[in-house]
Amino acid sequence: MSVHTGITRSSVQRNHALIAPESHVMATFPDWHQAEVITLISAHLGAHFTQYMVQFLPQGGHGPAAGRNTERFLLVLEGSVRIEAEEGQHDLAVDGYAYFPPGHHHRIIASGRARILCFEKHFEPIVGLETSAHGLRKIVSNMNDVPGEAFLGDPDAILKHLLPDEPGWDMALNTFQFAPGGTLPQVEVHVMEHGLYVLEGQGVYRLGDNWYPVQKGDTIWMAPYLPQWFVASGKHPTRYIYYKDMNRDPALRIHP
């Protein structure tokens, strides 16, 4: 076995984190059977959502619905999974995704080796409105079937909204695809938080006053107000998926 040098691209800071695959450490959770879970982003880091990856073992396995009041988005990264929901079942292959509103019963089943990426958030209702009145609904789709738009008119930065952009919804999952040399059009500073996973390609992410080389398989946490910017490098497009909280007044969230 070779001797480890102690070097990694991973870096965990007060308001951001880069977690490269070389730093992943698996855990087993009681309700996930024949599966290894890597919690990438959580409240322990300071985040207000959870991002984790589940690797089902070659013999297949299964996992439970999200916790109470928790909404879940899942994306298939490798292999395929079957979703057993209240109203029937769905088979999802790579790039397939699903969203479950809080309290929506389902089970995730893999019949062989598979890898999924999950984002979960405690749902925040609009003050005075019942959860059922927010228009949340189960979504099952595939990223390749979602139309993209040139972000602020830039054809080198294609944005896709994977979930409905409606006022009742409090989280967004989007993808960005950048042509080589494509950039975010500004150094963004915003109250919304991000959890990001690089699906393909490479580039340089500015996080605060740090510039990090990033590539496929990397996870990034960006706290509220973190200055952020990205440039894609390499010879092929770079694509990432990211979580963002939305549609809630920050003042009301702190002083309800």
Contact residues toward Mn ion (CB under 5 A) are 188
Which of Mn ion, ligand UGY, none does 115 bind, CB closer than 5 to 8 A by kind?
Answer: none
- The dihedral over CA atoms of 195, 15, 18, 216, expressed in degrees to the nearest 10, equals 30
Under 8 Å between Cβ of 192 and 224:
yes
Report the residue from 242, 243, 245, 248 that binds ligand UGY according to the rule CB under 6 A: 242
Cβ proximity to ligand UGY: between 184 and 198 the closer is: 184
Which of Mn ion, ligand UGY, none does 154 bind, CB closer than 5 to 8 A by kind?
Answer: none
> What is the three-class DSSP state of 49?
coil
SS3 content of the chain, % helix, strand, coil (to 5): 5, 50, 45
Under 8 Å between Cβ of 37 and 27:
yes
Q: Is residue 243 involved in binding ligand UGY (CB under 6 A)?
A: no
Report the residue from 32, 176, 197, 221 that binds ligand UGY according to the rule CB under 6 A: 176
- Give min distance, CB of 244 to Mn ion, in A: 7
Window 187-226: contact mask with ligand UGY (x via CB under 6 A): -x-----x--------------------------------
- Please report, for residues 60, 69, 129, 249, the alpha-carbon distance to residue 133 in angstroms, rounded to integers and kept in the order given: 37, 15, 6, 18
Under 8 Å between Cβ of 201 and 251:
no
Nearest-CB residue for ligand UGY = 228
Task: Please list, in sequence order, all residues whose beta carbon lies within 8 angstroms of the beta carbon of residue 94, skipping any fewer than 6 positions away.
Answer: 76, 77, 78, 79, 80
- Give min distance, CB of 222 to ligand UGY, in A: 7
Nearest-CB residue for Mn ion = 188
Binding site residues, ligand UGY, CB under 6 A:
176, 184, 188, 194, 228, 242, 244
